[in-house]
A and B are shown apart, each in its own frame.
Chain A
Amino acid sequence: MYQYDKYDQQMVDTRVEEFRDQTRRRLSGELSEEQFRPLRLMNGLYLQLHAYMLRVAVPYGTLSGAQMKALGDIADKYDRGYGHFTTRQNIQYNWIKLEDAPDILADLAKVEMHAIQTSGNCIRNISSDHFAGAAADEVVDPRPYAELLRQWSSFHPEFSYLPRKFKIAVIASDTDRAAMRLHDIGIQIVKNDAGEIGCAFYVGGGMGRTPMVAPCINEFVALDDLITYSEACLRVYNRHGRRDNKYKARIKILVHEMGKDEYTRQVEEEFAHLKSQGIEPPLAELERIKPYFADPAFKTGLSDDIDRSDPDFALWVDRNTIPHKAPGYVSAVISLKPVGGIPGDATADQIRLMGDLATEYSFDECRVMHTQNIVLPHVEKGRLAELFAKLDAYDLAAPNLDTIEDIIACPGLDYCSLANARSIPVAQKISERFASTGKTGELGQLKLKISGCINACGHHHAGHIGILGVDRKGVENYQLLLGGCEAEDTTLGKITGPGFDEDGIVDAVEKATEVYLAKREGEERFLDTYRRIGMEPFKEAIYG
């Protein structure tokens, strides 16, 4: 994985000392809250419902064992013994003290981490495929390109005050595991018929108040133009994006209102101009980055056999391990969704354990998934049983990847100052309901996502089943959506009808699954059946 050079380290260290002085001035009264607020937000420090919240960047979700362990130590030393992994492949701490914040950033800097650009109207943490470098179906490992984008976007002066926040995802497979088309820019690294590597650019996607699926504006941008083309896309947005209305300020609105063709025309025009300026970093920089992402020293001659005599272990292997490009290896997914648990939360001990396990079983590497789970990307099949036992001892072995119990849920009204309704209790009740009825396995792949407000941090638009919490005169109400998908065939879910209370939404979800079980044909997933039969049978069952 990437390691800071002296410039990276100096930038992060300098920012820590800068923020330390800003914090001192705030506490002494030299800075008002109005003056300090944008400064703390530039360092990922929010005010949430109960306290300050710190969001830490995890570029493309990749962490070393030491970094993961440091996150656990921070949870113990400065928070209340846990952290929350988010859909942005980041981690958040919910109970931070302002006077501790500079020290936390200093501790992060010691392990080449920071919280820069995890807030504000800038280019946020670059996300990517959590199986990058391990997946058999990728054209190349997308992370060197994500890293190049990270370096380009960090502290980019022209893009530090965009109309709104800006999110970029990079993948390199036809299978989309990063919700690429629901980002402001989605970049798919592709190979053309001539065998050349390039980038397809999808621009103007996103969820939130006005969900949109990004259209492809260019099917093949030469790799040598990755940064220049990205700069052109941003520059047109920065020029025309609305600053008078924050609800219409995202690039998806611009692309929609300007029209894809006109937006693309202006990007191409800007691209031609920028080409003459020579802003693209030299390929030598990409070549410098690439070796950090070289394959680890996979063993050869490993057996593919797994002893499946323990049914609990066999179930976990079936559900939570993913085929790997190297014979004898798998990617193992650590579920942060125990039955009745809080999706994405992990205790300090669990975080440290995952760091240790990354070191011991996965070439010192782990990944944060946008689905709020953790991946050990390179695990020998022959060592899975001992890994499973260690995970099970720490309540980290829930066998539920991509099932109805593997729920994405934003922090909701239990933590978030923007939320209108609680998300976590609904997730807890749904996972408990399906665990108790024993239907989880029968339902197969079923992605359920819950947001506590219209900002859609829980990706409810993209859930096969989505739930949106709203405020009805001070009372929580939950709308049900069906048919969303964040994969390569991205679609946006549709609302079934009137909302429900907390228990009613759990019943409604179960009724929707009963329709699926009654109507499915062959190997259809819930989503496939919905797409075939449409909304009506579900509405009839839910609203009767």
Chain B
Amino acid sequence: MKILTGNDLKSGDVVWWDGTSWSRHVNDSVDVGDKGDEIIAREEGLRNVFAAYAIEATTDDNGVRPAHIKDRIRALGPTVRPDLTLKPADPTAGNWVI
């Protein structure tokens, strides 16, 4: 599947396209097929997001998994600071990245 990611203009937070808006959680991502460029152009024009791009991903029992490690780290947060990730209560969450 193809999903979209980018950064929130004001906060800089990593965000993911959920079909209608931008979510902080990669699991909210939807497959955009070949509509990626169109959505990015519209959303960047509306200043809802910047530095947006499309990536390959898969889905499994744990949810959406970006294909590349860099985007998995973006989705979770720094693996060396579990307290700063989106799953601070789970110190093993970094294992999902590898």
Determine the main DSSP class of B at the interface with A.
loop
Q: Contact check, B12 vs A97: say whether CB atoms are below 8 A apart.
A: yes
Query: A424 — which chain B residues lie within 8 A by C-beta?
Result: 78, 80
Q: Contact check, A99 vs B80: say whether CB atoms are below 8 A apart.
A: no
> How many residues belonging to B are interface residues under a CB distance threshold of 8 Å?
23
Asked if A33 is at the interface (CB within 8 A of a chain B CB), the reply is yes
- Chain B positions 64 through 98: 1 when the CB is less than 8 Å from some CB of chain A, otherwise 0: 00011110011001111100100000000000000
A97–B69 Cα distance when bound, in Å, is 25
Known contacts A47-B7, A474-B69; is-contact A428 B12 (Cβ 8 Å): no
Q: Contact check, A51 vs B12: say whether CB atoms are below 8 A apart.
A: yes
Q: Contact check, B7 vs A428: say whether CB atoms are below 8 A apart.
A: no
Q: Contact check, B11 vs A29: say whether CB atoms are below 8 A apart.
A: no
Q: Contact check, A50 vs B9: say whether CB atoms are below 8 A apart.
A: no
**A27, A49, A475: which contacts B10 (Cβ < 8 A)?**
A27
Other 15 A-B pairs with CB < 8 A, given A47-B12, A98-B10: A27-B10, A29-B47, A33-B50, A47-B50, A50-B12, A50-B13, A50-B78, A51-B7, A51-B11, A97-B11, A413-B69, A415-B78, A422-B80, A428-B80, A476-B69
Asked if B28 is at the interface (CB within 8 A of a chain A CB), the reply is no
Q: Contact check, A422 vs B12: say whether CB atoms are below 8 A apart.
A: no
Asked if A425 is at the interface (CB within 8 A of a chain B CB), the reply is yes
Q: Contact check, A99 vs B78: say whether CB atoms are below 8 A apart.
A: no
- Chain B positions 35 through 53: 1 when the CB is less than 8 Å from some CB of chain A, otherwise 0: 0000000001001001100
Q: Contact check, B9 vs A414: say whether CB atoms are below 8 A apart.
A: no
A413–B77 Cα distance when bound, in Å, is 11
A417–B12 Cα distance when bound, in Å, is 13
Known contacts A414-B79, A414-B80, A425-B79; is-contact A51 B74 (Cβ 8 Å): no
Q: Which one of B10, B13, B47, B80 has the greatest number of beta carbons of chain A within 10 Å?
A: B80
A99–B9 Cα distance when bound, in Å, is 9
Q: Contact check, B12 vs A98: say whether CB atoms are below 8 A apart.
A: yes
A417–B79 Cα distance when bound, in Å, is 15
A419–B79 Cα distance when bound, in Å, is 14
Query: A413 — which chain B residues lie within 8 A by C-beta?
Result: 69-70, 73
Query: A527 — which chain B residues lie within 8 A by C-beta?
Result: none
Q: Contact check, B77 vs A50: say whether CB atoms are below 8 A apart.
A: yes
A428–B82 Cα distance when bound, in Å, is 14
In the A-B complex, the 3 residue pairs with the closest CB atoms: A51-B12, A52-B12, A414-B78
- Chain B positions 13 through 42: 1 when the CB is less than 8 Å from some CB of chain A, otherwise 0: 110000000000000000000000000000
A417–B14 Cα distance when bound, in Å, is 12
Q: List 26 A-B contacts (CB under 8 A).
A: A33-B44, A33-B50, A33-B51, A49-B70, A49-B74, A50-B14, A50-B74, A50-B77, A80-B84, A95-B84, A97-B10, A97-B11, A98-B10, A98-B12, A342-B81, A413-B69, A413-B70, A413-B73, A414-B73, A414-B78, A414-B81, A417-B70, A422-B73, A422-B79, A425-B80, A474-B67
- Chain A positions 96 through 134: 1 when the CB is less than 8 Å from some CB of chain B, otherwise 0: 111100000000000000000000000000000000000
Q: Contact check, A51 vs B70: say whether CB atoms are below 8 A apart.
A: no
Q: Contact check, B9 vs A98: say whether CB atoms are below 8 A apart.
A: yes
A183–B81 Cα distance when bound, in Å, is 32
Query: A47 — which chain B residues lie within 8 A by C-beta?
Result: 7, 12, 50-51
Query: A414 — which chain B residues lie within 8 A by C-beta?
Result: 73, 78-81
Query: B51 — which chain A residues lie within 8 A by C-beta?
Result: 33, 47
Q: Which one of A49, A50, A95, A474 has the greatest number of beta carbons of chain B within 10 Å?
A: A50
A47–B10 Cα distance when bound, in Å, is 12
Query: B68 — which chain A residues lie within 8 A by C-beta?
Result: 474
A228–B34 Cα distance when bound, in Å, is 57
Query: B67 — which chain A residues lie within 8 A by C-beta?
Result: 474
A52–B10 Cα distance when bound, in Å, is 10
Task: State the Cβ distance, B83 to closest chain A Cβ, in Å.
Answer: 9
A475–B7 Cα distance when bound, in Å, is 24
Query: B47 — which chain A residues lie within 8 A by C-beta?
Result: 27, 29
Closest-by-CB residue of B relative to A97 is B11
Q: Contact check, A342 vs B13: say whether CB atoms are below 8 A apart.
A: no
Closest-by-CB residue of B relative to A427 is B80
Known contacts A50-B74, A80-B84, A474-B68; is-contact A99 B10 (Cβ 8 Å): yes
Task: State the Cβ distance, B62 to closest chain A Cβ, in Å.
Answer: 18
Query: A52 — which chain B residues lie within 8 A by C-beta?
Result: 12
Task: State the Cβ distance, A430 to closest chain B Cβ, in Å.
Answer: 14
Task: State the Cβ distance, B37 to closest chain A Cβ, in Å.
Answer: 16
A97–B68 Cα distance when bound, in Å, is 26
Closest-by-CB residue of B relative to A417 is B70
Query: A51 — which chain B residues lie within 8 A by C-beta?
Result: 7, 11-14
Task: State the Cβ distance, A49 to closest chain B Cβ, in Å.
Answer: 6
Q: Which of A475-499 contact B (CB under 8 A)?
A: 475-476
Query: B78 — which chain A residues lie within 8 A by C-beta?
Result: 50, 414-415, 424
A226–B39 Cα distance when bound, in Å, is 54
Query: A80 — which chain B residues lie within 8 A by C-beta?
Result: 84
Closest-by-CB residue of A relative to B84 is A80
Query: B7 — which chain A residues lie within 8 A by C-beta?
Result: 47, 51
**B9, B14, B70, B74: which contacts A27 (Cβ < 8 A)?**
B9
A428–B81 Cα distance when bound, in Å, is 12
Query: A474 — which chain B residues lie within 8 A by C-beta?
Result: 67-69
Task: State the Cβ distance, A417 to closest chain B Cβ, in Å.
Answer: 8
A425–B70 Cα distance when bound, in Å, is 15
Closest-by-CB residue of A relative to B71 is A49
A471–B32 Cα distance when bound, in Å, is 27
Query: B84 — which chain A residues lie within 8 A by C-beta?
Result: 80, 95
